[in-house]
């Protein structure tokens, strides 16, 4: 889920302690070149610019997300500062190469694995649900940066639609159900609510 960011962007934006998503995947036992599918939650720079690290992947993206970033509003500073225009341009090349799968709404990826459009944080943000022996795990990405967002219905300031963000909180909790197995996009507390295998790697199921 998600491509993370490329080192160039990490450096340009002063991100400290950058670790390549490709290196993390490798540490988890998968060669980056063998990754066949990347479910892209949204196209903010920190979730998309790492796509180059996965040279064989097909990228699943909501069509509303692509429409937004190629549409008339994204050029305004409030939005464009969150994106990398060159990396967005790569969508065309990747699409012509058969490596972009545009989806709309809720779609099955594999048995027990689904993407769900929720919007809110961005126009086409999608979350991911995975059925596990412990219950359904919901990977929220930036639909809920931290646990407090979804648990206290506390929106973030980076949004395209506040009503969609609030509805997304409901969707996340409905999908997770009683198990409450929710993985926010940017919360270090995931390491304590799930099982930290080694620094930076957390077992979710």
Give the residues lining the site for Zn ion (CB under 5 A): 44, 142
Nearest approach, Cβ of residue 96 and Zn ion (Å):
26
Nearest approach, Cβ of residue 91 and Zn ion (Å):
17
Name the burial class of residue 156, with classes exposed (0-12), middle (13-18) and buried (19+) by CB atoms within 10 angstroms of its CB: middle
Block residue for tokens 């594999």: 110
Nearer to Zn ion, 44 or 114 (CB): 44
Nearest approach, Cβ of residue 186 and Zn ion (Å):
9
Nearest approach, Cβ of residue 160 and Zn ion (Å):
11
DSSP codes of every residue in 80-147:
HTTS-HHHHHHHHHHHHTT-EEEE-SEEEEETTEEEEE--SSSTT-EEEEEEETTEEEEEEETTSSSH
Nearer to Zn ion, 108 or 188 (CB): 188
Nearer to Zn ion, 53 or 165 (CB): 165
Q: H helices then E strands: how many in the chain? A: 9, 10
Q: How far apart are CA 40 and CA 44, in angstroms?
A: 10
């Amino acid at each position: 889920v998600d491509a993370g960011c490329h080192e160039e962007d990490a450096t340009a934006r002063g991100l400290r302690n950058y670790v390549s998503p490709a290196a993390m995947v490798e540490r988890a036992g998968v060669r980056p070149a063998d990754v066949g599918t990347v479910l892209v939650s949204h196209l903010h720079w920190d979730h998309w610019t790492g796509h180059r690290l996965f040279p064989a992947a097909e990228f699943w993206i909501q069509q509303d997300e692509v429409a937004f970033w190629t549409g008339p509003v994204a050029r305004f500073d409030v939005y464009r500062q969150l994106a990398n225009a060159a990396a967005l341009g790569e969508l065309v090349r990747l699409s012509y190469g058969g490596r972009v799968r545009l989806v709309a709404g809720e779609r099955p990826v594999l048995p027990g694995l689904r993407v769900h459009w929720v919007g809110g944080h961005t126009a086409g943000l999608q979350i991911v649900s995975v059925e596990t022996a412990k219950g359904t795990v919901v990977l929220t990405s930036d639909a809920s940066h931290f646990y407090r967002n979804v648990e206290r219905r506390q929106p973030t300031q980076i949004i395209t639609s506040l009503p969609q963000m609030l509805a997304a909180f409901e969707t996340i909790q409905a999908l997770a159900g009683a198990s409450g197995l929710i993985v926010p996009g940017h919360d270090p507390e995931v390491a304590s609510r799930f099982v930290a295998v080694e620094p930076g790697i957390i077992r979710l199921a």
